[in-house]
Amino acid sequence: MTVNSILIAGTWRGSAGGQSLPVVDPSTGDPFGHIARGTAADVHAAVAAARRALSADWGRLSAMERGRVLTRLGTRILEEADRLAELEARDVGKPLRQARADVVACARYCEYYGGAADKVHGETIPYQDGYTVLTWREPHGVSGHIIPWNYPLQIIGRSVVAALAMGNACVLKPGEDASMTALAIARLAQEAGLPEGALNLVTGLGEEAGAALAAHPDIDHLSFTGSRDVGTMVQAAAAASIVPVTLELGGKSPQIVFADADIEAALPFLVNAAVQNAGQTCSAGSRLLVEETLHEALVDRVAERFNALVVGPAERDLDVGPLIHAGQKARVERFLARAEADRLPIRAQGTLAPDLPPGGHYVVPTLIDCVPPDHPLAQEEVFGPVLAVIPFRDEAEAVALANATAYGLVSAVWTRDGGRALRLARALNSGQIFINTYGAGGGVELPFGGMKRSGHGREKGFEALYGFSQLKTVAIRH
Ligand code: NAD
């Protein structure tokens, strides 16, 4: 079946191989459309179109004009907010209000980077007598973007939109399990006046279209958001052509609660950061580290909230939606079975809404107490609505436990002691630290990215514009 979900040089077309993939609603398990199964030949054509765009209309736009196009895109996204939110909710399985928040965030990225496009300045550098030395930033050129299924709208905003703001021409490979809003955004970008070839899009499988993009010898930069295993392969593939890679990978992010914390303020964040998007969030706060003296009291309060969580289809807009597919559900259930086999205390579980569609991939949110620090539940990314509680004795142990995983994406500290908050902010190995709040990735304006195996490079905020450009130094002797 020919499905025209591949955008190359401004034209929508089917895959060179003529094959397609079903689009499945995680809330029901039912297919509701198809996408093209892009091949290496499609990726090659997309990269070539992006290369041409750099010396055509797109490459000739001034920074101010690029910014205007992106700002118009943000306006169009907000005008279409309801439709986009329904599509994202259906495709990813996230409750409608979360999908709406993602639409607004995507528009905000367009506003932010639209406004920032003409504000990236160079420097003049004091050098030897008789010289003037200056620097400026240039786009990498052709920028590849491989993104996952869990937050398509938000990740397009922070990676593709920032790369376009700097004048790169992009090739986007969305996640095969949730590509629909990527297609919608690309169409809106065309309406907003984005010149042809500035954004090319190839739907398809990771091991086919994704692998072809990562290994393509004519890309200049690659932004990968996804799992650690695939990120490792992608970086190795890009290394063959010395292509710089931004890696936004997984996490096992701790929320550290001291006995002096404002518990009422913390509670909603402790729960939401663990179950938002059914826990399928790179920056999910999936470990709750709690000071021993507060342990019982805090876990009781968190348990009340977990017990009250209701799981159901995205369109019913309950607390938690389904997982993305059967494989993800099986993965989460394996972790829960392991917890049971190891007799870890299950302190609370949410409930399934009545009359669930039988084909949906539902798992109840689960709060597990006293998880040993070396247990898989304390070390590995579950990517489901599961919160592991780990008690600690004192500040030193809290830091040691927080840092004792391979990951380093986000951490939170809850305390009324300002000195302690700052000491921990220094001591914790993660790219973002929240004090008395939790951002689950934070706002559009806040640089975001990992330490250790959570990846390298920063997206979001102004910092992303440096990552999506390269510095040139010009030394003038006079
Ligand atoms: P994934 O790694 O399986 O897939 C991510 C993307 O890579 C998809 O588009 C997929 O098609 C593609 N891909 C798969 N195999 C490939 C290959 N061999 N070569 C090139 N591309 C390939 O991840 P996922 O399951 O879609 O997403 C979940 C993961 O993403 C989690 O680990 C999560 O923590 C991570 N994530 C990280 C961030 C962040 O900002 N740090 C944000 C969201 C998700």
- For 52-75, what is each residue's pLDDT tens digit? 999 999 999 999 999 999 999 999
Instruction: Answer yes or no: 340 catalytic.
Output: no
- Alpha-helical regions (H) of 342-458: 376-379, 395-402, 418-427
How do beta strands 245-248 and 254-257 pair? unpaired
Beta bridge partners of 450: none
Check pocket membership of 371 for ligand 1, CB cut-off 6 A.
no
Write down the pLDDT at residue 437. Answer: 97
Cβ proximity of 473 and 135 under 8 Å: yes
Rounded CA-CA distance 68/60 in Å is: 14
For CA atoms 158, 159, 162, 165, the dihedral sign is: negative
CA–CA gap between residue 237 and residue 248 (Å, rounded): 16
Question: In which region does residue 29 sit, left (phi positive, over 0), alpha (psi from -120 to 50) or beta (all else)?
Answer: left
Phi-psi bin for 76: left (phi > 0), alpha (psi -120 to 50), beta?
Answer: alpha
| Burial of 419: CB neighbours in 10 Å, binned 0-12, 13-18, 19+ | exposed
Q: Of 244, 217, 214, 218, which Cα lies nearest the Cα of 230?
A: 214
Q: What is the pLDDT of residue 251?
A: 98
pLDDT per position as a tens digit, 82-130: 999 999 999 999 999 999 999 999 999 999 999 999 999 999 999 999 9
- Give CA–CA dist 476/478, Å, rounded: 6
Share of the chain above pLDDT 90, in %: 99
Residue 34's alpha-carbon distances to 25, 91, 273, 289, in angstroms, are 11, 12, 32, 43
Can you give the pLDDT at residue 2? 87
Cα–ligand 1 centroid distance for 428 (angstroms): 25
Rounded distance from Cα 450 to ligand 1 centre (Å): 15
Of 92, 109, 225, 252, which is best to mutate to test ligand 1, by the most ligand atoms within 8 angstroms of its C-beta?
Answer: 225
Are the C-beta atoms of 113 and 136 separated by less than 8 Å? no
Q: What is the pLDDT of residues 129-143, one digit of tens each?
A: 999 999 999 999 999
Instruction: Check whether 440 has a pLDDT greater than 80.
Output: no
> Quick check: 391 and 290 in contact, CB under 8 A?
yes
Q: What CA–CA distances, in Å, run from 253 to 7, 46, 64, 122, 279?
A: 37, 36, 38, 36, 12
Give the residue extent of every domain in the chain: 6-249+456-477, 254-444
The active-site residue out of 248, 291, 381, 395 is: 248
**214 in ligand 1 pocket by Cβ < 6 Å?**
yes
Alpha-carbon distance of 26 to 93, in angstroms, equals: 5
Of 459, 457, 464, 439, the residue nearest 448 (C-alpha)? 459
Radius of gyration of the chain (CA): 23
**Six-digit token string for 90:** 């259906």
The owner of tokens 């805090």 is 298
C-alpha 237 to ligand 1 mean position (Å)? 15
In CATH, which of 3.20.20.70, 3.40.309.10, 3.10.129.10, 3.30.43.10 is domain 254-444? 3.40.309.10
Query: What DSSP letter does each residue of 347-365 carry, written as one string?
Result: EEE-EEPSS--TTS-----
Task: Quote the CA–CA distance of 465 and 376 in Å, as a whole number.
Answer: 37
Q: Say if residues 221 and 140 touch (Cβ distance below 8 Å).
A: yes
The catalytically annotated residue of 111, 170, 282, 291 is 282
Can 191 be counted among the known catalytic residues? no
Choose among 1, 30, 31: nearest CA to 17.
1
Confidence at 1, pLDDT banded by 50, 70, 90: confident
Nearest to 60 by CA among 156, 162, 197: 197
What residues form DSSP beta bridges with 221?
Answer: 143
Binned at pLDDT 50, 70 and 90, residue 45 comes out as: very high
Pocket test for ligand 1, best of 227, 283, 454 (most atoms within 8 A of CB): 227
Residues 222-252: pLDDT tens digits? Answer: 999 999 999 999 999 999 999 999 999 999 9
CB contact at 8 A, 11 and 201:
no
Instruction: Identify whether the C-beta of residue 249 lies closer than 8 Å to the C-beta of residue 457.
Output: no
Does residue 225 line the site of ligand 1, with CB under 6 A?
Answer: yes
Name the pairing type of β-strands 124-125 and 131-139. Answer: antiparallel
Domain 6-249+456-477 has CATH 3.30.470.10: no
Ligand 1 mutation pick, 42, 230, 409, max ligand atoms within 8 A of CB: 230
